[in-house]
Amino acid sequence: MALTAGLGLLAVLVASAALTWGARHYALRRNLMDQPGERRSHVVATPRGGGIAIVLTLLLAAAVAALLWPDAWVTLAVFGLGLALVAGIGWWDDHRPLPAVRRLLVHVIAAALIAGLVWQATHNPVQALLALLFTTSLINIWNFMDGINGIATTQAVLAGVAFACVLPGPLALAGAVLAAACLGFLPFNFPRGRIFMGDVGSGALGYAIAALVCLGSVATDISWLLLLVPLTAFLVDAGFTLLSRMLSGQRWMEPHTQHVYQRAVKSSKSHTFVTGTYFVFGLFSITVFNACTNLQPRWEAAVAVAWLTLATGLWLLLRKGMCH
């Protein structure tokens, strides 16, 4: 069984890498390029849309899983449909920019599919509503945070590994598949960005990770707050940057370079250094997560709040330091 799973994950990695290679050549032929600019963190025109490789790999893996485990086909089909919706609107936006409201509407529809799975399992309207809001938010958070080489992909790898280590059977395998699909894409994007993920990939990663969190909250007794811990770096940087923009009256939906990771790059830190720093912090986050999943729920929640508070304090210190 272990050998079969290992070979399957290797196949996922190879498929993702091959599809990324194809996506790069497609982007070059179609002149699908991200141009440098004041609100960008790169300095040379770079192909975009490479995240379609991760999406196609995940959809293929879901189809294979539905054949191997027929009892799970409804859940897999609902997830696959939502993933296709998020990726599809992102793919469209990568080719021809769309109004933010139109993208958001599709994101909400896709998130409602995950919320429906949560409702079916729990019959708890509050939990289903939280799943809807969280999934919609994480789709956009991953998009906001996909601004330098490797950062969105490596954080997704960490999340996939974290959930693979603690979630039950099928969900653990889903986390491992997500990590393997991202690893297939990573060499094309880090340390040198030969292709960017694009909206097609960043939104889809946020959706896939949100699905793991939401379904994990249903399938286990782990506190939903603790399930957020592997995502701490992105939740804190995106969440508080967004809040600060809203409080200052800025148009928060517009592209910008005010996240801490973007400020670090603007202050002459390399993409490799910043992505590596976030990765190291992510390793601490998933270690805390893994070490605390067998505590009583109230202690899991207490640890999660303490860790998120610590990360918020660190964010405030870094942001203040970069303002001077």
- State the pLDDT confidence band at 41, using cuts at 50, 70 and 90: low
47: cis peptide before it, omega within 30°? no
Q: In this predicted model, which residue has the larger pLDDT, 192 or 211?
A: 211
Rounded to an integer, what distance in angstroms lies between the CA atom of residue 152 and that of residue 145? 6
- State the pLDDT confidence band at 211, using cuts at 50, 70 and 90: very high
- State the pLDDT confidence band at 209, using cuts at 50, 70 and 90: very high
Place of tokens 């399957």: 8
**pLDDT of the residue at 158:** 98
- State the pLDDT confidence band at 3, using cuts at 50, 70 and 90: confident
Identify the three-state secondary structure at position 46: strand
**pLDDT of the residue at 34:** 76
Backbone angles phi, psi at 96, to 5 degrees: -145, 100
Q: Contact at 8 Å (CB) between 34 and 26?
A: no
**pLDDT of the residue at 259:** 86
Q: Which residues contact 276 (CB under 8 A, 6 or more apart)?
A: none
**pLDDT of the residue at 43:** 66
- State the pLDDT confidence band at 267, using cuts at 50, 70 and 90: confident
In this prediction, what percent of the chain has a pLDDT beyond 90?
75
Mean residue pLDDT of the chain comes to: 92
**pLDDT of the residue at 246:** 75
DSSP per-residue codes, 22-37: HHHHHHHHTT-EEPP-
**pLDDT of the residue at 257:** 74
- Model pLDDT for residues 274-314, shown as the tens digit of each residue: 999 999 999 999 999 999 998 998 999 999 999 999 999 99
- In the predicted model, what is the mean pLDDT of residues 246-263? 75
- State the pLDDT confidence band at 1, using cuts at 50, 70 and 90: low
**pLDDT of the residue at 20:** 97
Structure tokens at 294: 């067998």
- In the predicted model, what is the mean pLDDT of residues 162-186? 95
- 324 pLDDT exceeds 90? no
Q: One-letter amino acid identity for 259?
A: H
Identify the three-state secondary structure at position 44: coil
- 323 pLDDT exceeds 60? no
- State the pLDDT confidence band at 90, using cuts at 50, 70 and 90: very high
- 144 pLDDT exceeds 70? yes
**pLDDT of the residue at 320:** 79
- In the predicted model, what is the mean pLDDT of residues 37-41? 61
pTM: 0.94
**pLDDT of the residue at 39:** 59
- 79 pLDDT exceeds 90? yes
- Model pLDDT for residues 213-236, shown as the tens digit of each residue: 999 999 999 999 999 999 999 999
Q: Which residues contact 123 (CB under 8 A, 6 or more apart)?
A: none
Backbone angles phi, psi at 252, to 5 degrees: -70, -20
**pLDDT of the residue at 5:** 77
- 26 pLDDT exceeds 60? yes
**pLDDT of the residue at 15:** 97
